């Protein structure tokens, strides 16, 4: 393959990645009369937007604030959110015919429930502004050059070299490699001497192996509303048992705060006290078997599964003080030691990324490398489940557009 130094039209910047951040950046640059070229490895833009929220795209969260983001510098995202708020996201999409409906916990989805409507807003606006998107174009390298940068790409099987004064790295994180995810953002950062905060899968199911695994497997498909916590954080949402461990929103949330080797704790009945409930019931119905009592609180399947951890064949009146204490501990402090997580194939996001110390929080430009910008998931800003990650992608794309 030969390398061509292409004769380019003048672009104010080249954006790597036509995902949520890159597309928002291209559109916002368009409003400001700036011309950009977007390079995308996939054959279509916005691949992850299309699959997000089960194809419905949870595009923001009404309650988004810096508190729902993990970063080594928890203040870093505040400036971007001050420049582009949740209200800005809502009114931006409303302007182009997408109204939101709140599903739960502030999670906003398009009323149409179609993620493709979200992508079409961006592709339509890019066309209107004359922003070019080159799909099927893989960026392989970025190096410093006179007056800026030289970007190496493979396009239509040919090596092509592009020059630009400003580069926006919006190449996403490591999750779902089969959808185009690469480590390019991290590679570029390393190449220019920028620190990386350790990366790991986040919003990811957790696995259970060994002698405990069959217990979880027998419950596969059962979902329970719980409080899940560790010494850093606590979430109240459903957990889902699977044949290999635990999933569901509460588990995905805690996974971002879990480290290998640690326990997580589950309150299986977060708004009631199991011991009080048993004591009330045994005053009126002491002969009731514990198994039947538990079946009234949980599914029969779950109550039966608890039987090998509880004296389920005893009636309520005959439970001893110690047994009641053990039931309380089991239900309200169910201890789980995950073996691991399902990795980048199943993770919704990547934790860590380009260190916040290396970027200006106001502009997202690398402090040591003028003209080099990082936004979206490749930066060390990781949101909770529920539309927070897109809010960061939109906000960071907006901020960069103001500064290229
Ligand atoms: P994004 O990954 O969107 O875009 C990066 C782009 O760069 C990709 O298109 C990629 O192909 C391209 N690229 C990578 N390497 C390249 C290279 N070498 N050359 C050229 N192009 C390259 N969030 C949320 O808020 N609400 C939700 O409902 C969901 N749902 C959801 C479901 C699933 C299954 C996943 C995996 C993730 C989510 N997310 C989510 C997370 C959300 O998708 C994610 O945070 C954003 O897409 C990140 O936007 P970026 O633009 O940073 O990366």
pLDDT in tens, the chain (404 residues): 445 545 556 899 999 999 999 999 999 999 999 999 999 999 999 999 999 999 999 999 999 999 999 999 999 999 999 999 999 999 999 999 999 999 999 999 999 999 999 999 999 999 999 999 999 999 999 999 998 999 999 998 999 999 999 999 999 999 999 998 999 999 999 999 999 999 999 999 999 999 999 999 999 999 999 999 999 999 999 999 999 999 999 999 999 999 999 999 999 999 999 999 999 999 999 999 999 999 999 999 999 999 999 998 899 999 999 999 999 999 999 999 999 999 999 999 999 999 999 999 999 999 999 999 999 999 999 999 999 999 999 999 999 999 99
Which atom belonging to ligand 1 lies closest to the Cα atom of 61?
Answer: 25
Please give the pLDDT value at position 1: 46
Range of the domain at 289: 205-342
Is the CB–ligand 1 distance for residue 386 below 6 Å? no
**Ligand 1 mean position, distance from CA 257 (Å):** 21
Distances (CA, A) of 279 to 118, 297, 321: 53, 14, 11
**Ligand 1 mean position, distance from CA 279 (Å):** 51
Tell whether 232 and 297 lie within a shared domain: yes
3-state DSSP: the chain helix, strand, coil percent, rounded to 5?
35, 25, 40
**Ligand 1 mean position, distance from CA 390 (Å):** 9
Domain end residue (candidates: 294, 326, 342)? 342
- For residue 99, the Cα-to-chain-centroid distance in whole angstroms is 22
Tell whether 42 and 150 lie within a shared domain: yes
Tell whether 176 and 33 lie within a shared domain: yes
Tokens 């006179």, located at residue: 146
Tell whether 244 and 259 lie within a shared domain: yes
Dmax over CA atoms of the chain, in Å, equals 86
Tell whether 34 and 52 lie within a shared domain: yes
Tell whether 194 and 215 lie within a shared domain: no
Closest protein CA for atom 49 of ligand 1: 20
Is the CB–ligand 1 distance for residue 176 below 6 Å? yes
**Ligand 1 mean position, distance from CA 351 (Å):** 13
**Ligand 1 mean position, distance from CA 396 (Å):** 13
| Angstrom distance (rounded) from CA 394 to CA 404 | 16
Tell me the best of 171, 376, 379, 387 to mutate to test the pocket of ligand 1, counting ligand atoms within 8 Å of each CB and taking the most: 171
Please give the pLDDT value at position 350: 98
Tell me the best of 54, 172, 199 to mutate to test the pocket of ligand 1, counting ligand atoms within 8 Å of each CB and taking the most: 172
Burial class (CB in 10 A: 0-12, 13-18, 19+), 106: middle
Which atom belonging to ligand 1 lies closest to the Cα atom of 139?
Answer: 19
| CATH label of the domain that carries residue 43 | 3.50.50.60
| Angstrom distance (rounded) from CA 392 to CA 378 | 11
Tell whether 195 and 219 lie within a shared domain: no
Which atom belonging to ligand 1 lies closest to the Cα atom of 57?
Answer: 28
Q: Which DSSP state fits 338?
A: -
Is the CB–ligand 1 distance for residue 319 below 6 Å? no
Is the CB–ligand 1 distance for residue 397 below 6 Å? no
Percent of the chain beyond pLDDT 90?
A: 96
Domain end residue (candidates: 342, 359, 375)? 342
- 353-388 pLDDT, tens per residue? 999 999 999 999 999 999 999 999 999 999 999 999
Is the CB–ligand 1 distance for residue 52 below 6 Å? yes
| Angstrom distance (rounded) from CA 324 to CA 326 | 5
Domain end residue (candidates: 322, 342, 362)? 342
- 128-177 pLDDT, tens per residue? 999 999 999 999 999 999 989 999 999 989 999 999 999 999 999 999 99
Give how many domains the chain has, as a whole number. Answer: 2
Burial class (CB in 10 A: 0-12, 13-18, 19+), 20: buried
Which atom belonging to ligand 1 lies closest to the Cα atom of 376?
Answer: 52
Is the CB–ligand 1 distance for residue 169 below 6 Å? no
**Ligand 1 mean position, distance from CA 261 (Å):** 29
Tell whether 22 and 53 lie within a shared domain: yes
């Amino acid at each position: 393959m030969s390398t061509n130094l292409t004769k380019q039209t003048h672009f104010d910047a080249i954006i790597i990645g036509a995902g949520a951040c890159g597309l928002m950046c291209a559109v916002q640059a368009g409003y400001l009369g700036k011309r950009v070229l977007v390079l995308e490895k996939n054959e279509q833009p916005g691949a992850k937007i299309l699959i997000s929220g089960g194809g419905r795209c949870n595009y923001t969260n009404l309650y988004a604030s810096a508190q729902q983001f993990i970063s080594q510098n928890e203040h870093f995202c505040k400036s971007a959110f001050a420049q582009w708020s949740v209200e800005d996201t809502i009114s931006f999409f409303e302007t182009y015919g997408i109204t939101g409906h709140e599903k739960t916990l502030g999670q906003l989805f398009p009323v149409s429930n179609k993620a493709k409507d979200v992508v079409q807003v961006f592709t339509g606006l890019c066309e209107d502004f004359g922003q070019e998107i080159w799909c099927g174009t893989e960026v392989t390298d970025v190096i410093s050059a006179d007056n800026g940068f030289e970007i190496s790409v493979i396009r239509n099987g040919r090596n092509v070299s592009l020059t630009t004064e400003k580069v926006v790295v919006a190449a996403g994180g490591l999750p779902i490699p089969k959808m185009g995810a690469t480590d390019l953002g991290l590679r570029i950062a390393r190449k220019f001497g920028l620190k990386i905060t350790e990366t790991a899968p986040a919003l990811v199911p957790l696995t259970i192996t060994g002698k405990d695994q069959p217990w979880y497997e027998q419950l596969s498909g059962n979902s329970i509303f719980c409080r899940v916590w560790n010494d850093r954080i606590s979430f109240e949402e459903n957990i889902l048992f699977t044949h290999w461990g635990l999933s569901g929103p509460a588990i995905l949330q805690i996974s971002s705060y879990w480290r290998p080797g640690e326990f997580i704790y589950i309150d299986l009945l977060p708004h009631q006290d199991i011991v009080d409930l048993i004591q009330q019931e045994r005053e009126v119905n002491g002969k009731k078997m514990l198994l039947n009592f538990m079946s009234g609180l949980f599914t029969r399947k779950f109550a039966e599964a608890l039987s090998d951890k509880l004296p389920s064949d005893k009636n309520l009146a005959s439970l001893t003080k110690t047994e009641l204490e053990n039931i309380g501990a089991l239900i309200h402090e169910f201890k789980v030691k995950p073996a691991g997580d399902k990795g980048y194939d199943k993770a919704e996001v990547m934790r860590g990324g380009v260190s916040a110390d290396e970027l200006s929080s106001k502009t997202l430009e690398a402090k040591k490398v003028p003209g080099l910008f990082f936004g979206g998931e490749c930066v060390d800003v990781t949101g909770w489940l529920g539309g927070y990650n897109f809010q960061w992608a939109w906000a960071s794309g907006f901020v960069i557009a103001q500064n290229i």
